[in-house]
A and B are shown apart, each in its own frame.
Chain A
Amino acid sequence: MTTTSPDSTKALAPAPRPAARAWRRRLASRRTQKNIAFYLFIAPWLLGLIFLVLIPVLGGVAISFTNYDGLNIGNLKFLGLSNYTRIFSDRDAMWSLQRVFVWTALNVPLWLCISFILAYLLNQGIRARGFFRTMYYLPSVIPLVAVAWIGRLMLHPTLGLVNQTLNLFFHGVQINWLTEYAMISLTTVAVWTGLGAGMVIFLAGLQGIPVALEEAAVIDGANRLQSLRHVTIPLMTPIIFYQLVLSIVAAMQYFALPMLLAPTAGGGGGALGAAPTRAVYLFMVHSFRQAFGFHRYGYATALTWFLVILILLFTAVLFWSAPRWVHSDTET
């Protein structure tokens, strides 16, 4: 943060002496200078891209054809495509794939709808809007580890607030939220922590819609719902699209909360080998367990590539569908 202080910045960039300036002018054209400046400015990113992204990812592709386990560099075996074909005969991988589809199908629409509705309500000239906005956003600020503790505190089969409250009305009820109904629980917790962030983005978008447009619709005799449907939502489609793409990409790769909420996590558990309950055994959980629990780096990398290709396919389909339903900016 030192760079934001004007004093220190002056110090970092002493003014060039006139002679040097003339020399510079002679040697390099303005255009070359700009090119050099641009590449200097983006150099950290570019180097990072090469050394921390491209090289390891290419290395990862290589690893995915071997039985690398972290220690066996000496007798590495080339396995061809067998790490990839293994995915289809791995019952747990297929199950976790099914789970991640269910999870995405459940989580993304719920999250999108609820955060949109909240943003819409808050955009209705509400008094104390700032208060509500803050309250809705606060869960998003809570770090995941604490979210996991809160989740366990609420959903524990015997000690959790939810079941204990239910017991006041229905004696002897014990719903296994964290095991049998873990998918519903996970979705609830994830929506709870995520809707603030979603709401803020929608709200920013809604505020960009000219009030006049909605009012015109109302004057034309449309009721609130009609104006929402025919004016507001179409204008919001670019943002809905953006949120949809990013949330699907994120949901497909989801792993942390299921692991943290696993009954074996916490206390002696919580390690990367810990298996979440079957209902929320998501794909990346399986992949990370293969890598860090069982040291099957080759197979784990193959699993990740498999998922990433799937995600990219989905993204491509979404982008292909976009012109059909996403309102383009030029029309406003």
Chain B
Amino acid sequence: MRAITHGRGFTHRQMGKIVTYTLLIAVTVVLTIPVVYLISTSLKLESEYIAENLQFFPKKLQWHNYYLALTMIDFGHYALNSVLLATSFATLIVTTSAMAGYGFARIPAVGRSKLFSVVVALILIPASIFIIPQFVLFSNLRVTNSYWPWILWGLSASPFFIFLFRQFFLSFPVELEEAAEVDGARVIRIFLQIVLPNSYPVLATSFILAFLSVWGDWLMPLLYLADRNTTLAVKLITAYVNPQGFPIVTPTLAASVIYILPPVVMFFFVQKYIMQGVVTSGIKG
């Protein structure tokens, strides 16, 4: 690939390559084993799981665990809860963050730069400080045991996403918008008709990041939601139990495998943008 592949450096370089590839493959194996073992154990008998001696793969594939995963608890119900909550939250937060991001990137106004430094500061301020006070607030507003906290969070945008959108919109060619502006179009129309349709990478990436943050969250549903309302993440910790409340492991693992699938699939959709550093464009600028 590079010009310098002659002379002394040649074998050296080849050696280097061999070492590099060995290392890369070794790391791949180490990183993958846990996931393979999860899948393998999800197909074991409970007694094989409890066995004292190492048995990496099941003797016979126990697909029944997957049946149990779906039927021991109302899996579909909780999965749907997760999907709905994550989708509505992501839709709202992407919309509001994109709006604010556009404002900060393209609409000059009094106080804009001061407010933007607030956004940046909020990214750095430890989020733990909000959790307990918000819990007290929502309890006293009597919106616990409902999806209102997520709607309200979604409506109030995320500093990180605002930052992301701002950076993206800054890199967006200004000519199109100017042309439209000369044409007399209002800001909102430019935003909706010209800017957003051309922002697929950042929209998709932030949507999926927001979706996954809810899909994977465990603390907030635990704090705010009750049994039927709650999400799959919460159920995965505690729901697969015998009547005494003690865990039955292999169906839980089967459920975990199903639960991991949507994030993996979604990741492949936006992989390109994540790898290109769309998410990190902020720090490169």
**In the complex, is A directly touching B at CB under 8 Å?**
yes
Closest to B267 in A: A141
Closest to B37 in A: A161
| Identity of the chain A residue whose Cβ is nearest the Cβ of B4 in the assembled complex | A218
Interface string of A293-321 (1 = CB under 8 A from B): 00001001100110110011001000000
Q: Does A167 contact B (CB under 8 A)?
A: yes
The distance in angstroms between the C-alpha atoms of A207 and B118, with both chains bound, is: 30
Residue of B nearest to A290 (CB): B132
Shortest Cβ distance from residue A52 to the other chain B in the assembled complex, whole angstroms: 5
User: Complex: how many Å from CA A172 to CA B103?
Assistant: 64
Chain B neighbourhood of A301, CB < 8 A = 132-133
Partner of B212, one of A125, A135, A141, A267: A141
With A44-B155, A45-B100, A137-B267 known as contacts, the answer to whether A291 contacts B54 (CB < 8 A) is no
Neighbouring B residues of A323 by C-beta, 8 Å = none
Q: Does chain A have a CB within 8 A of B117?
A: no
Residue B182, interface by CB 8 Å:
no
Nearest Cβ on chain A to B3's Cβ, whole angstroms: 8
Cα A4 to Cα B207 with chains together (Å)? 12
Task: Judge whether B94 is part of the interface by a CB distance below 8 angstroms.
Answer: yes
- In whole Å, how far is B11's beta carbon from the nearest beta carbon of chain A? 14
**Chain A interface secondary structure, helix, strand, loop or mixed?**
helix
Q: Which of A4, A121, A252 contacts B196 (CB 8 A)?
A: A4
- Residues in chain B near residue A48, CB distance under 8 A: 96, 152-153, 155-157
Q: Is the CB of B259 within 8 A of A311?
A: no
CB of A44 within 8 A of CB of B157, answer yes
Residues in B neighbouring A224, C-beta threshold 8 A? 16
Give the interface residue-count category, chain A: 35 or more
Contact with B263, one of A141, A167, A304 (Cβ below 8 angstroms): A141
Q: How far is the CB of A283 from chain B (nearest CB, A)?
A: 9
Q: Which of B52, B124, B188, B222 contacts A13 (CB 8 A)?
A: B188
Q: Provide the bound-state CA to CA distance between A150 and B215, in Å.
A: 17
- A252 engages B126 (CB within 8 Å): yes
* B191 neighbours in A (Cβ, 8 Å): 41
A residues near B185, Cβ cutoff 8 Å: 15
Q: How far is the CB of A120 from chain B (nearest CB, A)?
A: 10
Interface string of A193-220 (1 = CB under 8 A from B): 0000000110111011001000100110
User: With a CB–CB cut-off of 8 A, which chain B residues contact A168?
Assistant: 54
B280 and A145: CB pair below 8 A? no
Knowing A6-B193, A118-B27, A167-B54, say if A144 contacts B156 (CB, 8 Å): no
Residues of chain B within 8 A (CB-CB) of A135 are 28, 31-32
**Cβ proximity bits A254-291 to B, threshold 8 Å, 1 near / 0 not:** 00100010000111111110000000000010011001
Alpha-carbon distance A57/B274, docked complex (angstroms): 33
Please determine whether A143 and B31 come into contact, CB atoms closer than 8 angstroms: no
In the complex, A135 Cα to B275 Cα: how many Å? 12
> Is A34 in the interface zone, CB < 8 Å from B?
yes
Main secondary structure of the interface of B (DSSP, over half): helix
B59-67, B71-79, B171-179, B239-247: which one contacts chain A? B239-247
Q: Does A139 contact B38, Cβ atoms closer than 8 Å?
A: no
From the candidates B91, B100, B125, name the one contacting A44 in the complex (CB within 8 A). Answer: B100
Shortest CB distance A290–B (Å): 9
Q: Is A42 touching B115 in the complex (CB atoms < 8 A)?
A: yes
Contacts of A10 in B (CB 8 A): 193
Residues of chain A contacted by B184 (CB below 8 angstroms): 21
Q: How far, in Å, is A197 (CB) from chain B's closest CB? A: 9
A265 pairs with B237, CB closer than 8 A: yes
User: Are the C-beta atoms of A49 and B118 separated by less than 8 Å?
Assistant: yes
Closest approach, in angstroms, between the C-beta of B203 and any C-beta of chain A? 6
The answer to the question of A109 belonging to the interface, with a C-beta cut-off of 8 Å to chain B, is no
The answer to whether B2 touches A211, judged by C-beta atoms less than 8 angstroms apart, is yes
- Select from chain A the residue with minimum beta-carbon distance to B155: A44
* Alpha-carbon separation in the docked complex, A313 to B285 (Å): 26
Q: Cβ of B37 and Cβ of A145 under 8 Å apart?
A: no
Contact A268 B245 (CB under 8 A): yes
Within 8 Å by CB of B247, from A122, A161, A192, A266, lies A266
Is the beta-carbon distance between B219 and A256 smaller than 8 angstroms?
Answer: yes
Task: Determine if B218 is an interface residue (Cβ-Cβ < 8 Å).
Answer: yes
A190 CB-CB contact with B under 8 Å: no
Query: Does A37 make an interface contact (CB < 8 A)?
Result: yes
Find chain A residues with CB under 8 A from B233 CB: 143-145
Q: A143–B263 contact, CB under 8 A?
A: yes
Among candidates B24, B103, B136, B256, residue contacting A60 with C-beta atoms closer than 8 Å = B136
Interface string of B8-34 (1 = CB under 8 A from A): 000000001000110110011001111
Query: Apart from A2-B91, A59-B133, A161-B33, what 17 extra A-B contacts exist at CB < 8 Å?
Result: A47-B156, A48-B156, A51-B152, A60-B132, A68-B136, A70-B139, A132-B28, A134-B271, A137-B271, A138-B35, A153-B38, A153-B253, A167-B53, A200-B279, A201-B280, A205-B283, A239-B283
> Could you list 21 examples of A-B contacts with CB < 8 Å?
A3-B192, A34-B107, A38-B107, A41-B191, A44-B156, A45-B100, A47-B155, A51-B152, A121-B24, A141-B263, A145-B236, A153-B34, A161-B37, A192-B31, A245-B124, A252-B126, A268-B246, A284-B128, A291-B135, A301-B132, A307-B126
| Interface residues in chain B, defined as those with a beta carbon under 8 Å from any beta carbon in chain A | 1-4, 16, 20-21, 23-24, 27-28, 31-35, 37-38, 41, 49-54, 56, 91, 94-97, 99-100, 102-104, 107-110, 112, 115, 118-119, 122, 124-137, 139, 152-153, 155-157, 159, 162, 184-189, 191-193, 196-197, 200, 203, 207, 212, 215-216, 218-219, 222-223, 233, 236-238, 241, 245-247, 252-253, 256, 259-260, 263-264, 267, 271, 274-277, 279-280, 283-284
Which 6 pairs between the two chains have the least Cβ-Cβ distance?
A48-B156, A204-B277, A143-B216, A60-B133, A41-B103, A38-B109
